[in-house]
């Protein structure tokens, strides 16, 4: 019985469990492919991206090159002979095929002696050593060009990241995003915490109505606020500025903050709060000394939400920040600038995307516990 | 002054101001207005306790009223005026919207999004939640499928632009077509279906959300109900559909409606992927086309979105009221 209840759907049959494992593995791979593709591409240069798909980035790719030989011909019994290495005196590599004409770089396998036009012969070893023999009586007037297919080892570099960060304004956009995010995450927490405490532990008329209104405000489309609030910001003189976007994010983040924090605070043990009150603590003291420290997990959940939301936001940044390049945040920079001007430059785009998602991913993987807890408090209850 | 420094200063002033406000207002209430001393001590304590909740609520209520309640009315009022906001045109903007083929297209596409995205994300989330439930590496798998939640919609769009790229050496879709000898296509320009290729991006992001919540709901099902079903000889599929699903139905509805609301608000994906071209316009991106150009038209579109969201809003409020009582 214990074995059967071990897995409700599979009945603990190993065959089914294998199917489960394989299905989940496939789903995970499917989910990761797009991100991995972009990550790999962000470390490849433009030629490599255009030359082969990222899924072949880790294997050597075949490349056809034309090599102008150097050096002097020497007279041998077979004719005028030129020897050397196609990779130069210091280079190395591997020849997979060679030919005597541009149109046939794969005519001969390495080590073969290839018959070229007018009785000339060419031998190229896999390591690049070649012997070129011209049976003519006259010394050849110019050196021949050899056509070789070589295996190019995979190359990765951080060139895209250097380009995007140091010459493309992405560093500025990164700072701007950070500038928007920090106040927009911290300020709503405090405002919401006091309100949530009042809604959870204080008794007053219309409490239920206010909670209902806040639940309703959770789903109000932000699109409604854009035109009236921008007009309001212009009227009070802050216009399109960082102040405007901080206020806007604070206002828009409050319903979720109050809702999450109230749900959490309501669940705190009644005894602690009441015994503190009996001992003469005021509501202000109960809140700052007891409820606030105990609510840390809920505060952390909301902080992560608000952080991810403000960091990733495009809509509010487009409307409430000036549209000039020096106040672009990263999402605006990518969507309005890079996708247009660098549309075909995938390496640059990929690097920009990873610069912008690196911090959220870091926060996500280190604080996933709180994020999940916040999601559950906001939805399951 | 560098904006970052300005930001830090704002945090200090904002946090300090908040603490200062709450602390001072409480002090004034207790020490100056209604001190719990003297002949009226009892009455004063009661009065102070009646006022205190409103002190705690005031900043939040002001911000909510200004940034979320007022705009509902402000936007509606603005939508009754012409482009410059000088002439009252009544329902003129709404009539103009109805006559605009692009708006009707956006409405239809939005309808497709609302049908497809919540259904697909909830179904996949439930599938993953159930499959990973008793898996040893289930938590790692869930974490990886949850990951796109941390990525911005712009980032996600870029990631998928890469997948959809026409060049078979870049886009994996066309690379697969290439190995079967098919000519490359641009998925974003395939009429009608391109909408679904855009929806896939949001499904990719939101499946993790559905999975996390449904996974917790599945864990919350009492073991006895499942054990009883096994003793009665129920097959695994019967257990899943007859025992588990009915018990988490409430959560499924919550997940479904949450994603539905999100779908009605997300403009980033369409904006970054196609800019609303090739017949992929949806209401939020259509609105942004008029934002800054014709505020009357833009607010009218925003209000249409609000009307579509309204039933969900009412349902949410009813649910919340049941809980509070």
- For residues B5-19, average pLDDT: 82
Tokens of A225: 């606020």
Tokens of B306: 């609000």
Q: How far is B87 from chain A (nearest CA, A)?
A: 17
Residue ranges of domains in chain A, CATH in brackets? 4-57 (no CATH), 61-152 (no CATH), 162-379 (1.10.3720.10)
Q: Give the per-residue pLDDT at A14.
A: 61
Confidence of residue A379 (pLDDT cuts 50, 70, 90): low
Beta-ladder partners of A68:
A145
Q: Give the per-residue pLDDT at A153.
A: 72
The DSSP annotation for B225-249 comes to HHHHHHHTT--HHHIIIIIIHHHTH
Measured CA to CA in angstroms, residue B38 lies from B30, B35, B42, B44, B51 at distances of 13, 8, 9, 9, 20
ipTM of the complex: 0.88
Edge-first strand listing for the sheet containing A79-85: A74-76, A79-85, A129-134, A121-124, A113-115
Q: Give the per-residue pLDDT at A15.
A: 66
Q: Give the per-residue pLDDT at B325.
A: 59
- The yes-or-no verdict on residue B221 having pLDDT over 60 is yes
Q: Which of residues 168-187 of B touch A (CB under 8 A)?
A: 168-170, 172, 175
Contact pairs from chain A to chain B, CB under 8 Å:
363
Confidence of residue B134 (pLDDT cuts 50, 70, 90): confident
High-pLDDT (> 90) share of chain B, %: 37
- Chain-centroid distance of CA A149 in Å reads 35
Tokens of B162: 């890469």
| Cα–Cα distance, B279 to B267 (Å, whole number) | 15
Q: At what angle do helices A223-236 and B295-324 cross, to 10 degrees?
A: 110
Q: How far is A3 from chain B (nearest CA, A)?
A: 11
Q: How far is A49 from chain B (nearest CA, A)?
A: 7
Q: pLDDT for A114-136, tens place per residue?
A: 888 778 888 888 887 888 888 88
Q: Give the per-residue pLDDT at B195.
A: 93
Classify residue A81 as exposed, middle or buried by CB count within 10 Å of its CB (0-12, 13-18, 19+). middle
Q: How many CB atoms lie within 10 A of CB B147?
A: 20
Pairing of strands A129-134, A121-124: antiparallel
Q: Which among B254, B225, B255, B257 has a CA at the least distance from the CA of B242?
A: B225
* Start-to-end Cα distance in chain A: 32
Please, what is the average pLDDT of chain B? 88
Q: Give the per-residue pLDDT at A1.
A: 34
| Cα–Cα distance, B322 to B319 (Å, whole number) | 5
Q: pLDDT for A140-153, tens place per residue?
A: 777 888 888 777 77
B chain contacts of residue A250, beta-carbon cutoff 8 Å: 63, 67
- For residues A202-231, average pLDDT: 89
| Cα–Cα distance, A239 to A63 (Å, whole number) | 56
Cα atoms in the Cβ-side hemisphere of radius 13 Å centred on A63: 17
- For residues B32-45, average pLDDT: 78
Q: pLDDT for A285-344, tens place per residue?
A: 888 888 999 998 889 988 998 999 999 999 999 999 998 888 899 999 988 888 877 767
Q: Give the per-residue pLDDT at B283.
A: 93
Counted residue by residue, chain B has a size of 325
| Cα–Cα distance, B156 to A203 (Å, whole number) | 45
Q: Which of residues 123-142 of A touch B (CB under 8 A)?
A: none
Q: Give the per-residue pLDDT at B116.
A: 95
- By C-alpha distance, the chain B residue nearest A326 is B3
B chain contacts of residue A318, beta-carbon cutoff 8 Å: 288
Confidence of residue A71 (pLDDT cuts 50, 70, 90): confident
Confidence of residue B1 (pLDDT cuts 50, 70, 90): low
- The yes-or-no verdict on residue A23 having pLDDT over 80 is yes
- The yes-or-no verdict on residue A106 having pLDDT over 50 is yes
Q: Give the per-residue pLDDT at A100.
A: 75
The DSSP annotation for A322-340 comes to -SSGGG--HHHIIIIIIHH
- The yes-or-no verdict on residue A6 having pLDDT over 60 is no
Mean pLDDT check: name the lowest of A47-51, A329-333, B130-134. A47-51
> At B24, which helix (H) or strand (E)?
helix B3-27
Q: Give the per-residue pLDDT at A192.
A: 93
pTM of the model: 0.84
Confidence of residue A13 (pLDDT cuts 50, 70, 90): low
Residue of B323 and A73 predicted with greater confidence = A73
| Cα–Cα distance, B27 to A58 (Å, whole number) | 68
Tokens of A285: 């003291």
- The yes-or-no verdict on residue A4 having pLDDT over 50 is no
Unique residue bearing structure tokens 């000394």: A289
Using the Cα atoms of residue A275, residue A276, residue A280 and residue A286 in order, give the sign of their dihedral: negative
Residue B221 and residue B248 in contact, taking contact as beta carbons nearer than 8 Å:
yes
Tokens of B249: 């139905």
Answer whether B53 touches A (CB < 8 Å): yes
Cα atoms in the Cβ-side hemisphere of radius 13 Å centred on B316: 26
- For residues B274-294, average pLDDT: 89
Answer whether A182 touches B (CB < 8 Å): yes
| Cα–Cα distance, B122 to A381 (Å, whole number) | 18
Choose the mutation target among B155, B233, B243 for the interface with A, i.e. most A CBs under 10 Å.
Answer: B155
- Chain-centroid distance of CA B313 in Å reads 12
Please, what is the average pLDDT of chain A? 83
B172, A33: Cβ pair inside 8 Å? yes
Residue A63 and residue A54 in contact, taking contact as beta carbons nearer than 8 Å:
no
Residue A48 and residue A41 in contact, taking contact as beta carbons nearer than 8 Å:
no
Q: Give the per-residue pLDDT at A67.
A: 78
- By C-alpha distance, the chain B residue nearest A189 is B15
Residue B211 and residue B142 in contact, taking contact as beta carbons nearer than 8 Å:
yes
């Amino acid at each position: 019985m214990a074995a059967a209840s071990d897995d409700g759907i599979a009945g603990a049959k190993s065959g089914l469990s294998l199917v489960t494992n394989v299905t989940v593995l496939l789903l995970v791979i499917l989910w990761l492919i797009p991100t991995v593709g972009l990550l790999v591409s962000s470390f490849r240069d433009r030629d490599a991206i255009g030359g082969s798909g990222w899924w072949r980035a880790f294997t050597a790719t075949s490349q056809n090159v034309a090599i102008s030989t150097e050096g002097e011909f020497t007279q041998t019994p077979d004719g005028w002979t030129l020897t050397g290495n196609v990779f130069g005196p210091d280079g190395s590599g591997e020849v997979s095929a060679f030919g005597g004409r541009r149109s046939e770089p794969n005519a001969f396998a390495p080590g073969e002696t290839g018959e070229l036009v007018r009785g000339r012969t060419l031998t190229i070893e896999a390591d690049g050593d070649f012997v070129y023999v011209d049976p003519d009586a006259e010394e050849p007037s110019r050196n021949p060009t050899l056509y070789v297919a070589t295996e190019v080892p995979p190359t990765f570099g951080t060139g895209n990241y250097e380009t995007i960060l140091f010459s493309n304004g992405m560093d500025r956009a990164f700072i701007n995003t950070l500038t928007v995010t920090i106040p927009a995450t911290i300020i709503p927490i405090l405002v919401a915490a006091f309100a949530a405490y009042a809604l959870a532990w204080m008794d007053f008329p219309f409490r239920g109505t206010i909670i209902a209104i806040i639940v309703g405000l959770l789903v109000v489309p932000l699109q409604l606020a854009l035109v009236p609030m921008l007009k309001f910001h212009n009227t009070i003189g802050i216009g399109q500025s960082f102040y405007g976007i901080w206020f806007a994010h604070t206002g828009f983040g409050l319903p979720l903050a109050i809702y999450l924090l109230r749900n959490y605070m309501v669940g705190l043990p009644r005894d602690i709060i009441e015994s503190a009150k009996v001992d003469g603590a005021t509501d202000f003291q109960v809140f700052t000394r007891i409820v606030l420290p105990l609510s840390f997990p809920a505060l952390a959940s909301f902080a992560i939400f608000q952080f991810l939301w403000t960091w990733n936001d495009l809509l509010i940044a487009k409307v409430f920040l000036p549209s000039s390049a020096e106040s672009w945040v990263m999402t605006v920079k990518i969507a309005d600038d890079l996708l247009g001007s660098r549309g075909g430059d995938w390496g640059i785009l990929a690097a920009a995307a990873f610069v912008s998602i690196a911090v959220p991913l870091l926060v996500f993987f280190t604080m996933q516990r709180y994020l999940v807890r916040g999601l559950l408090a906001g939805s399951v209850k | 002054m560098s904006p970052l420094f300005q930001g830090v200063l704002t945090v200090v002033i904002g946090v300090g101001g908040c603490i200062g406000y709450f602390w001072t207002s409480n002090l004034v209430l207790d020490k100056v207005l209604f001190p719990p001393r003297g002949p009226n001590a009892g009455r004063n304590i009661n009065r102070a306790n009646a006022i205190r909740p409103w002190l705690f609520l005031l900043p939040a209520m002001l911000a909510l009223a200004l940034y979320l309640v007022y705009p509902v009315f402000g936007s509606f009022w603005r939508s009754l005026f012409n482009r410059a906001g000088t002439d009252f045109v009544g329902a003129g903007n709404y009539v103009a919207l109805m006559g605009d083929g692009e708006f009707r297209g956006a409405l239809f596409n939005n309808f497709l999004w609302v049908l497809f995205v919540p259904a697909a994300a909830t179904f996949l989330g439930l599938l993953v939640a159930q499959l990973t439930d008793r898996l040893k590496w289930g938590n790692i798998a869930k974490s990886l499928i949850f990951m796109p939640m941390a990525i911005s919609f712009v980032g996600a769009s870029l990631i998928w632009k890469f997948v959809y790229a026409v060049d078979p050496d870049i886009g994996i879709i066309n690379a697969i077509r290439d190995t079967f000898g098919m000519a490359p296509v641009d998925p974003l320009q395939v009429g009608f279906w391109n909408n679904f290729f855009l929806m896939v991006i949001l499904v990719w992001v939101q499946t993790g959300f559905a999975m996390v919540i449904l996974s917790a709901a599945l864990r919350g099902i009492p073991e006895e109900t499942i054990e009883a079903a096994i003793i009665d000889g129920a097959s695994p599929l019967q257990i899943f559909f007859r025992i588990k699903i009915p018990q988490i139905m409430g959560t499924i509805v919550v997940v479904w409606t949450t994603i539905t609301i999100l779908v009605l608000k997300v403009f980033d994906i369409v904006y970054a992927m196609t800019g609303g071209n090739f017949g992929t316009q949806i209401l939020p991106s259509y609105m942004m086309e008029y934002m800054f150009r014709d505020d009357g038209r833009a607010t009218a579109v925003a209000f249409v979105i609000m009307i579509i969201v309204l039933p969900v809003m009412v349902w949410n409020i009813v649910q919340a009221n049941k809980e509070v009582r």
